[in-house]
Structures are given as C-alpha cells and as structure tokens.
Amino acid sequence: MCGIVGILGRKPVSGQLVEALKRLEYRGYDSAGVATVENGELGRRRAEGKLQNLEARLADEPLMGRIGIGHTRWATHGAPTETNAHPHMTKRVSVVHNGIIENFNQLGSELKSAGVELSTDTDTELIAHMVTRELDAGHDPAVAVQHALRRLEGAFAVAFIFKGHDNLMIAARQGSPLAIGFGDGEMYLGSDAIALAPFTDTITYLEDGDWAVMTREGVAIRDREGMAVERPVQKSVASALMVDKGNHRHFMAKEIHEQPEVVGHTLAHFIDFANERVHIPDLSIDFASLNRISISACGTAYYAGLIAKYWFEKLARLPVEIDVASEFRYREIPMERNGLALFISQSGETADTLAALRYCREQGQNIASIVNVRESSIARDSDLVLPTLAGPEIGVASTKAFTCQLAVLACLAIAAGRARGTLSEETEVELVGALSEVPRHMSAILREVGAYDALAHTLAKAGDVLYLGRGVNYPVALEGALKLKEISYIHAEGYAAGELKHGPIALIDEAVPVVVVAPRDGMFEKIVSNLQEAAARGGQIVFLSDAEESAAGCDLMTAIKLPAVHTFTAPLVYALPMQLIAYHTAVFMGTDVDQPRNLAKSVTVE
C-alpha cells in the first residue's frame, strides 16, 4: 500500500527521496509528497497522481533540507487529492503514515472539541495534531510521539520530522512494515529494503510496537512499553539492479520472462536433482502425525493454495482446509492443537494473512509460511519458513511469485506424501523429473508469444470473458480470470467446467470469449464436452492445450498449442498463458499494466 521513505543526509535529500519513492511505486499509489527541515523550518511539496508531477513541483519550488520524509499514498480516508496527500503538517511537525487509524472518529471529535481545525479528510492529519498538542504541552519530540502513539488504534507505520530539529527523525511501527538503513554519517528509513537498496544494504527491521529515534549518528529503538531494545542488523538481499526493467516495456513483462530462471532457482533450493529427491531444509513438520493442513492466503496466493489442496490430498492423502485470509479468523475455526497452519504471501506483510497467522498461533498450531521476503513479518512469526526465490516482484499483478509459490508447494506435497507413506520412491522420482522439466517448458512458451498478441485484439472488445478448467486446473482458470480483471479491467470469471450447466452457460453468446484450460489429462474428454456446450451457444472458444486443435471437435476462435507436460506440473506451465493473455490484452488496451488502478502490491491494512 502506501510507501514511506526518510533520509537524514549530508546534502539536500529531496531528490533522493523521490528516487526512493520510485522504487516503491509497485506498491500502488495515487498521490505523493516530500517534506524537509531547512534552516530549522518545515517545507513541503505534494502532488496528485504520478511521481513525475511531484518532480515537476520540486523543479519549480526546490526543497534544500538535509533531512526529509517522503510518501506515496494509496487513499483510505479521503479522496486522492493533493490536499489529502502526505506529508501532513502543523507548524511544529510533519508526518507520513501507512495504515489505518481505527479510532479515527473518536480522536477527530476529541481534537475538534479542543478547538483544532482539521483541513483534510485523512486519519493521518490527526496524528500530526496529536503530536503537536503534546509538544505544546512542553514535552520533547520523543515523549510527544510516545504519548500520541499510545492513543492510536489500528495497523500503521509513521515517520516524523520536527521544526527546529535538523538531526532528528522518529519512526514507529504497529502492523505495517518499516526498515531502518545504516549509512556513513547518514541514516535511512523505508517501507521495505527495496527503497533503501541504492543507499545501503545494512538494515534493521522494526518489530510490532517498536518506535525509533534516529539521528545521523545512529538509532535508539524502544518497544511499546518504552524499554530500550536491540533489533538484529542484517544484510539485505534487495539489489538496486534487481528492479530495473531491462529491455522490457513493463516490469510485468520482465517478471513473466524471468520465470524459467527463478522457478529453476526455487526448485533447486528444495530438490536434490542428482538423487531425484525432494529435500526441504530444516523441515520440522512431522507430516505423518498430522490430521489436516489449514491454508490461508489472499488473492493470487490463495489460488496457489487451492492448487496445493489438490496436491496434498492426492499425494499425501492429507485433508486440506483453505480460506481467504480476510475471512479465516472471523469463522472462529476450532483447531486441533499441534496441527499445521500454512500461510502463503509474496510480501510477507499482508495484513489479513498476518492476522490469520496470529489466530492460529493462539490455537496452538505449528506455523509454516511460504514468502518471497525472508525478513517479512509473516516469516519472522513462523516456525518454518519456505522461501520462494523469485526476487523483487514490482508489477502489482503477481506472476513469478505465483509460479515460485507453486514450485515450493509441489515440493512440500511430495515431501508430505513420502513422510506419510502414501507416495512411493518411484513416484517421487517421476514427479521430481516432471518438476525439473518445468523451466524448459516455460521457456518454450515464452519463445512463442505471437498468438497472444493476436488474441488480445479480440479480447479487448469483450465485455465479459469466461475461463474454464477442471481438477487441479480449475484454480488456474480462476487465476487467469483474476489476471485479466486486474490489468485490463475486463470483467472475467473462472469456473469449474463441470459447473457450466449450473448457471454460467446462461451468460454465453457470440460476444463472450471462453478460455479453456485443457491439458491432455484424465479430465480432458470431459472438458472438451464442456467447451462443445459453450461453442454450441455461440461462445468464442480459446483452446489452451497440448492436444491437437481437432481434438476439440468444434470450431475454435483461437487454439494455442502448449508443450505436453506431466499432469502434476500442468498448473505451473499453464500459468504462463494466463499471464500472457492478460498482459497482451492490457497492453493493447493501453492500461497501466504495472500499476493498475485502485490496486496495491502489498495490502497492509485489513
């Protein structure tokens, strides 16, 4: 969601702040701003829309302060206007904020009763006024912030600078992530390590309840009780070079084409290819003793979990319960102690998933997580971390993170089957061999993208698109529909093909494309029957299969021939056509592919 940066530098920092904010654009935003302290005075520049608008404002009205904070805002309270953009200021303090203050109305009423005039619709402005009131009462900045923080309810990250203090920044975290970076006579603050990568690779992550007093000489961290604490200092794996688009037009295109490499890296981390065996480092789970697995995730990660449900239940004969994280904890699920709760998240900061994790911890579950950021909150709260090696994913619509999640889940399902005695050694060798071929199959698909460009011209005219799949490929259809919705804004829905006659077939006419995920597997003949039903109603069939076009037995609008793959690995391979269809359609339509409207990369509020 919103992105926060802060710099205590030795030269004017406004340009560096904007460059750092550019590295947070992938999180999604609708306005931006920076504030600095110059000659003891607070100065601020803000702009609605993209960062280029803020750069233009700074070119006309420079800020020369050597300490500053910056922000990209994704609107929650208040419309996405310049007035509501961060930083928010009073005469004594400037603040940037990521998150939602849940007792916003109560605090607002209290401030208005005290005679404070509010000029915006945001919850963030309240924080600035609360700290100012404490400063006016005679408290120093650290005490003023501490007192104000005690009144805030919700999930948030905040950073403050103060009038008259050109060597002081205070930051706090409750739910939303914050990283502190160490330089040579300089200090940095960011929502994640990617923002700080050009400046430093030496990072400390604040934990929930922490607040930090930063100067150019270092940082003092206190917990929510005000006790001094030490947090680990670590080397970040985020690289300044890893977030360049290279020769690609969009980050999403780059990340689609990186999949053969990053999926190969992820598989190599969990497979001993020389002996054709799965090897999970530091595996502390006794799968033989489990009665079920509870999976929780959001968005695309949820669809990865749905695919894993098929794998765990078939290979390990282990029941799986899966929920979208935003609903999971509100069901108040009775959970047997010592069960396994598995969480999937690209960022490792998804608020709903983190809340579900903490519910499971209270229920006595063993906690395992699949994340792309090893230093994330979800990873730090887990007993077992299974990392994906996708590297930074900048495009809001997940691509390589999804297929790397599937690679980890496939390996974990094999490990579970072997541990439970439901999967023979010979079958493990067969499945590992199939996984080893996935990067090659992905590369073959990416060499033949012309058909997707042609298909985009047709899909761009559609008002509705249906995606059909059966068995383990049903979630692939769901993911394909989500991708198209996310970046092209065309309404699309995924269905289990066998459900076609139970309602969705009423939608089909000559104007409705129907994308059919149809690898030649044990369900192939059944899904061909379903597509024939759709074709008979005039549906424009897009046939994705390793089978010959004639196997469909009806006229097709488009047939895209895919590599013949093992049924086990089909979801990893068929994920790429889903991504390519959405990408080429969105490019043809001229939408903002990497930062689609209203969406954020990391959803750090519930």
**Residue numbers annotated as active site:** 2, 601
- Mean pLDDT lowest for which of 15-29, 34-48, 166-180? 15-29
The model's pLDDT over 122-180, given as tens digits with 9 standing for 90+, comes to: 888 999 999 999 999 999 999 999 999 999 987 788 999 999 999 999 999 986 778 89
Tokens of 507: 């939608």
Whole-Å CA distances, 183 to 23, 186, 217, 338: 19, 5, 9, 44
Q: Rounded to an integer, what distance in angstroms lies between the CA atom of residue 309 and that of residue 294? A: 10
> Contact at 8 Å (CB) between 385 and 330?
no
The model's pLDDT over 254-298, given as tens digits with 9 standing for 90+, comes to: 899 889 888 988 998 898 877 889 999 888 889 999 999 999 998
**Nearest Cα to Cα of residue 353 among 328, 373, 336:** 328
Confidence class of residue 240 from pLDDT cuts 50, 70 and 90? very low
- What average pLDDT does the segment 540-557 reach? 82
- What average pLDDT does the segment 213-242 reach? 84
- Amino acid identity of residue 569, one-letter, is T
Strand bridging mode 277-278 / 384-387: unpaired
> Contact at 8 Å (CB) between 422 and 316?
yes
Per DSSP, what are the bridge partners of residue 545? 561
- Mean pLDDT lowest for which of 249-253, 373-377, 462-466, 486-490? 373-377
Question: Domains of the chain (ranges plus CATH)?
Answer: 3-242 (3.60.20.10), 244-436 (3.40.50.10490), 446-594 (3.40.50.10490)
Summarize the chain as % helix, strand, coil (round to 5). 40, 25, 35
Q: What is the pLDDT of residue 123?
A: 86
Per DSSP, what are the bridge partners of residue 387? 371
Q: Is the pLDDT of residue 243 over 60?
A: no
Q: What is the pLDDT of residue 529?
A: 82
Per DSSP, what are the bridge partners of residue 541? 514
Q: What is the pLDDT of residue 3?
A: 85
Q: What is the pLDDT of residue 604?
A: 47
Q: Is the pLDDT of residue 454 over 50?
A: yes
% of the chain surpassing 90 pLDDT: 57
Max mean pLDDT range (266-280, 330-344, 403-417):
403-417
Tokens of 327: 């609903």
3-state class (DSSP) for residue 432 = helix
- What average pLDDT does the segment 291-314 reach? 95
Q: What is the pLDDT of residue 136?
A: 95
pTM (whole model) above 0.75: no
Q: What is the pLDDT of residue 19?
A: 92
- What average pLDDT does the segment 363-371 reach? 93
Q: What is the pLDDT of residue 241?
A: 43
Q: Rounded to an integer, what distance in angstroms lies between the CA atom of residue 560 and that of residue 548? A: 9
Max mean pLDDT range (19-28, 369-378, 558-567):
558-567
3-state class (DSSP) for residue 107 = helix
Q: What is the pLDDT of residue 337?
A: 81
**Nearest Cα to Cα of residue 569 among 267, 167, 220, 204:** 267
> Contact at 8 Å (CB) between 373 and 348?
yes
Q: Is the pLDDT of residue 314 over 90?
A: yes
- For CA atoms 257, 261, 262, 267, the dihedral sign is positive
Q: What is the pLDDT of residue 212?
A: 97
- Residues 6 or more apart whose CB falls under 8 angstroms from that of 591 comprise 487, 488, 489, 597
Q: Is the pLDDT of residue 428 over 90?
A: yes
Tokens of 564: 């013949």
CA 93 to chain centre: 32
Max mean pLDDT range (7-21, 147-161, 378-392):
7-21
Q: How confident is the prediction for the chain on average, in pLDDT?
A: 89
Alpha helices (H) along 437-473: 438-446, 450-459
